């Protein structure tokens, strides 16, 4: 028994290190954790999360973004444009709204909206092209970035006790990305009156696989680990999507709770067009926070 526990500990530690490098390791960690952790019952009743049918979360992310965008068109050399190149800051906040419905002890359904907005303006310090518009050094730029993610999924409970739950499932993430770059050239130190607009818009429905492990520390405090991953090529899309979200929650009352966590999400998606392509490479990481209401 002692040897088995020691082996399990080393296996968990190895997977925990891998989870930081790839969400697939995190999914394996969640599956193994449910098998290794002891299944003792609390003297108290079931944790509310395991019995509430409706669970609503409203909050946001305070995140750091590392992103690049390409809107290549025929006759132009492909140019990848970073956030700083178009006057956008890598740190901002994102709105988050989630709804979770528990049909029964086996099936759960979720829907969510995550909205990210930024605007910027500056004088271009590097030359690049975007959607057939050539931006020269010194050109005035006005930019808008919008990234909306809509999430729908269904989860099936593999293992459940009075204080823990392991679920796996899948669903659909719809990524609605839009980058607009308005450029006005400077000639002999004077700006021209005409603005040139480059735009890259992409709406991509991406099915994904995910796993969730919930563990109650007490009737009020709990932790939850969710990991998801997808690598997919279909029609005109070539995409890769991965995320890890670890959160802790504390129930202030029977219905209201506070949530704090940390999330990493990476999106690499390309839409092939005729001619050219649009490509978005975005990594988000940072704190998540919010308030929950359950009934």
Q: Where are the domains of the chain?
A: 1-38, 43-294
pLDDT band for position 127 (cuts 50, 70, 90): confident
Residue 165 token pair: 């739950």
Residue 35 token pair: 């098998």
Distance CA 264, CA 283 (A): 7
Residue 106 token pair: 């086996």
pLDDT band for position 9 (cuts 50, 70, 90): very low
Closest CA to 202 of 159, 147, 128: 147
pLDDT of residue 59: 94
pLDDT of residue 190: 61
Q: Report the relative pairing of strands 140-160 and 256-272 from DSSP bridges.
A: unpaired
Q: Phi/psi of residue 6, each to 5°?
A: -65, -45
DSSP secondary structure letter of residue 93: E
Question: What's the rounded mean pLDDT across residues 187-215?
Answer: 78
pLDDT band for position 90 (cuts 50, 70, 90): low
Q: What's the pLDDT tens digit per position in 39-85? A: 444 434 468 899 999 999 999 988 777 878 888 887 788 888 877 77
Question: What's the rounded mean pLDDT across residues 127-139?
Answer: 82
pLDDT band for position 28 (cuts 50, 70, 90): low
pLDDT of residue 26: 52
Question: What's the rounded mean pLDDT across residues 7-30?
Answer: 47
Query: What's the pTM value of the predicted model, to 2 decimals?
Result: 0.74
Q: Phi/psi of residue 10, each to 5°?
A: -65, -40
DSSP secondary structure letter of residue 42: P
Strands (E), the chain: 54-72, 81-82, 91-102, 107-123, 128-130, 133-135, 140-160, 164-184, 186-187, 190-191, 196-216, 221-234, 237-251, 256-272, 277-294
Q: Please give the share of the chain, as a percent, with pLDDT higher than 70.
A: 80
Q: Quick check: 140 pLDDT over 70?
A: yes
Question: What's the rounded mean pLDDT across residues 238-246?
Answer: 87
Residue count of the chain, please give it. 295
Q: Quick check: 271 pLDDT over 90?
A: no
CA end-to-end distance (rounded Å), the chain:
41
Residue 169 token pair: 């499932």
In sequence order, which ranges of the chain are alpha helices (DSSP H)? 2-19, 23-36
Distance CA 256, CA 55 (A): 10
pLDDT band for position 22 (cuts 50, 70, 90): low
Third-level CATH fold of 43-294: Lipocalin (2.40.128)
Q: Quick check: 171 pLDDT over 80?
A: yes
Q: Quick check: 7 pLDDT over 60?
A: no
């Amino acid at each position: 028994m002692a040897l088995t526990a020691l082996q399990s500990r080393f296996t968990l530690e190895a997977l925990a290190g891998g989870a930081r490098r790839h969400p697939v390791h995190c999914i394996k960690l969640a599956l193994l954790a449910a098998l290794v952790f002891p299944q003792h019952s609390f003297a108290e009743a079931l944790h509310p999360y395991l019995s509430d049918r409706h669970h609503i979360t409203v909050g946001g992310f305070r995140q750091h973004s590392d992103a690049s965008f390409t809107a290549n068109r025929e006759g132009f050399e492909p140019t990848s444009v970073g956030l700083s190149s178009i006057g956008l800051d890598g740190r901002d906040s994102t709105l988050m709204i989630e709804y979770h419905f528990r049909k029964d002890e086996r099936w759960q359904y979720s829907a969510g909206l995550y909205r990210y907005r930024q605007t910027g303006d500056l004088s271009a310090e590097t030359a690049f092209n975007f959607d057939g518009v050539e931006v020269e050094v010194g050109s005035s730029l006005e930019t808008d970035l919008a990234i909306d993610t809509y999430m729908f999924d269904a989860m099936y409970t593999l293992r459940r006790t009075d204080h823990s739950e392991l679920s796996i499932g899948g669903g659909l993430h719809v990524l609605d990305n839009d980058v607009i770059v308005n450029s006005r050239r400077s000639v002999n130190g004077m700006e021209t009156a005409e603005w040139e607009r480059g735009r890259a818009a992409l709406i991509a429905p991406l099915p994904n696989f995910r796993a969730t492990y919930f563990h109650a520390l007490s009737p009020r405090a709990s932790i939850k680990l969710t990991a998801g991953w997808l690598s997919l090529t279909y029609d005109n899309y070539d995409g890769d999507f991965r995320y890890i979200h670890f959160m802790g929650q504390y129930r202030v009352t029977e219905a209201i709770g506070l949530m704090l966590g940390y999330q990493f999400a990476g999106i690499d998606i390309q839409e092939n067009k005729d001619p050219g392509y649009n490509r978005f490479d975005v990594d988000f990481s940072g704190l998540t926070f919010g308030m929950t209401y359950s009934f």
